[in-house]
């Protein structure tokens, strides 16, 4: 998979946006279209390189929010003409609430959409994304996309205000987005443990206190996460999990993104610069993660990335339990 970062602008202002960690105030909240980012010509040059060198079968357009970048439809169409096999958009689905825009974008050549929905509760969702009324737009955008025939995956960030509702969230999605639950080409859910939007060592005390309130301990969330995973497994619904050490995923290693990256020794993309096309080795991902002394006694130590660095900085590793 190759990522093509188009911009740093977004029509939401999410409370835990990870781009803040790398770009800070350079990330822009905009209500309308923004031309910030690489040019159409630069984007086409990158598509040419990907297609001509047959670098990947999957091209993902992302940004902050690629749909606020004018020219996205043109770029999708261009990538399709270049015979990119699978074209994916990482989007919050706000603009896809406009059925006409959604139709034009998807018909240009989109195969898959990766979106985010962090709560099935309208008020909490709006609070998370920082824009009142966006919950209804997100739901409409997801429904429009599914109706237009694309595969769609929902990323759900687990944090202090929603971890008790994971099972209810899944049931909400089953009811409202039934077509994606058993789609063939991609799993419908990815559950991502909260990653801090700031680097702890550089953050002010008030910001650290806020992060501590938003980032629950594994010991608190584990019963709810297991309940949800067991439910999904019982219904044979595919899902992935990221950011949780394997000692809290017993019986579900196969669902861990981290586990598979370590097992397969894959290359992954970690782009701190939206204009970068650098490919980093999977082990570089460890720079963002931490483990404890107890982890060296775990039978899965070489297949586990541990927790996010900031989690360990806030809580230590006393909760980590070696798997013997």
Confirm whether 320 is domain-assigned: no
Please state the three-class secondary structure of the chain as a single string: CEEEECCCEECCCCCCCCHHHHHHHHCEECCCCCCCCCCHHHHHHHHHHHHHCCCCCEEEEECCCHHHCCCHHHHHHHHHHCCCCEEEEECCCCHHHCHHHHHHHHHCCCCEEEEECCCCCHHHHHHHHCCCCHHHHHHHHHHHHHHCCCEEEEEEEECCCCHHHHHHHHHHHHHHCHHHHCCCCCCCEEEEECCCCCCHHHCCHHHHHHHHHHCCCHHHHHHHHHHHHHHHHHCCCCEEEECCCHHHCCCCHHHEHHHHHHHHCCEECCCCCCCCCCCEEHHHHHHHEECCHHHHHCCCHHHCCCEEHHHHHHHCCCCCCCCC
Confirm whether 120 is domain-assigned: yes
Pick from 281, 276, 282, 286: nearest CA to 307: 286
Whole-angstrom CA distances from 302 to 66, 215, 244, 257, 265 are 36, 25, 15, 14, 11
Range of the domain at 40: 2-288
Whole-angstrom CA distances from 305 to 177, 202, 244, 257, 282 are 32, 23, 8, 10, 10
Q: How far, in Å, CA of 88 to CA of 150, rounded?
A: 10
pTM of the model: 0.88
Whole-angstrom CA distances from 237 to 74, 81, 88, 139 are 35, 34, 21, 20
pLDDT value, residue 111: 97
CA dihedral 230, 232, 238, 241 (to 10 degrees): -60
pLDDT value, residue 205: 82
CATH number of 165's domain: 3.20.20.70
CB 76 within 8 A of CB 103: no
pLDDT value, residue 20: 62
For residue 132 the two structure tokens come to 């009142």
Confirm whether 303 is domain-assigned: no
Confirm whether 40 is domain-assigned: yes
Confirm whether 316 is domain-assigned: no
For residue 302 the two structure tokens come to 């070489």
Q: 112-116 and 151-158 as β-strands: parallel, antiparallel, unpaired?
A: parallel
Q: How far, in Å, CA of 103 to CA of 278, rounded?
A: 32
Confirm whether 301 is domain-assigned: no
Q: How many domains does the chain divide into?
A: 1
Confirm whether 160 is domain-assigned: yes
Confirm whether 299 is domain-assigned: no
pLDDT value, residue 274: 41
For residue 18 the two structure tokens come to 């990870």
pLDDT value, residue 297: 93
Per residue of the chain (324 residues), what is the pLDDT tens digit?
Answer: 788 988 888 889 888 887 765 555 545 555 555 556 788 999 999 999 988 888 778 999 998 899 998 899 999 999 999 999 999 999 999 999 999 999 999 999 999 999 999 999 999 999 999 999 999 999 999 999 999 999 999 999 999 999 999 999 999 999 999 999 999 999 999 999 998 766 666 667 887 888 889 999 999 999 999 999 999 999 999 999 999 999 999 999 999 998 888 777 643 433 444 444 333 334 445 567 888 899 999 999 888 989 998 899 899 999 999 999
pLDDT value, residue 286: 58
CB 291 within 8 A of CB 316: no
């Amino acid at each position: 998979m190759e990522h093509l970062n188009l911009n740093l602008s977004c029509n939401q202002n999410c409370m835990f946006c990870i781009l803040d960690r790398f770009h800070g105030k350079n990330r822009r909240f905009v209500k309308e279209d923004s031309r910030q980012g690489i040019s159409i010509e630069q984007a086409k040059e990158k598509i040419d390189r990907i297609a001509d060198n047959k670098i990947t079968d999957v091209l993902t357009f992302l940004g902050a929010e690629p749909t606020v970048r004018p020219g996205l439809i043109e770029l999708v169409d261009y990538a399709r003409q270049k015979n990119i096999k699978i074209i994916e958009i990482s989007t919050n689905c706000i603009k896809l609430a406009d059925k006409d825009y959604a139709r034009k974008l998807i018909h240009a050549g989109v195969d898959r959409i990766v979106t985010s929905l962090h709560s099935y509760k309208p008020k909490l969702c709006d609070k998370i994304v920082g824009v009142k009324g966006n919950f209804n737009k997100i739901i409409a955008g997801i429904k429009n996309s599914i109706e237009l025939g694309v595969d769609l995956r929902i990323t759900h960030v687990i944090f202090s205000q929603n971890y008790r509702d994971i099972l209810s969230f899944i049931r909400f999605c089953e009811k409202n987005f039934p077509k994606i639950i058993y789609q063939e080409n991609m799993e419908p859910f990815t559950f991502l443990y909260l990653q801090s939007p700031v680097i702890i060592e550089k953050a002010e005390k008030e910001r650290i206190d806020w992060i501590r309130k938003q980032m629950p301990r594994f010991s608190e969330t584990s019963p709810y996460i297991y309940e949800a995973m067991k439910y999904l497994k019982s219904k044979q619904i595919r899902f992935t999990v990221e950011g949780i050490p394997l000692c809290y995923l017993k019986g579900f290693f196969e669902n861990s993104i981290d586990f598979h990256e370590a097992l397969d020794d894959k290359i992954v993309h970690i782009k701190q610069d939206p204009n970068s096309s650098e490919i980093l080795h999977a082990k570089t991902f460890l720079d963002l993660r931490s483990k404890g002394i107890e982890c060296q006694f775990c039978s899965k130590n070489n297949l586990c990335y541990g927790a996010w660095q900031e989690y360990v900085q806030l809580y230590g590793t006393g909760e980590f339990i070696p798997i013997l």
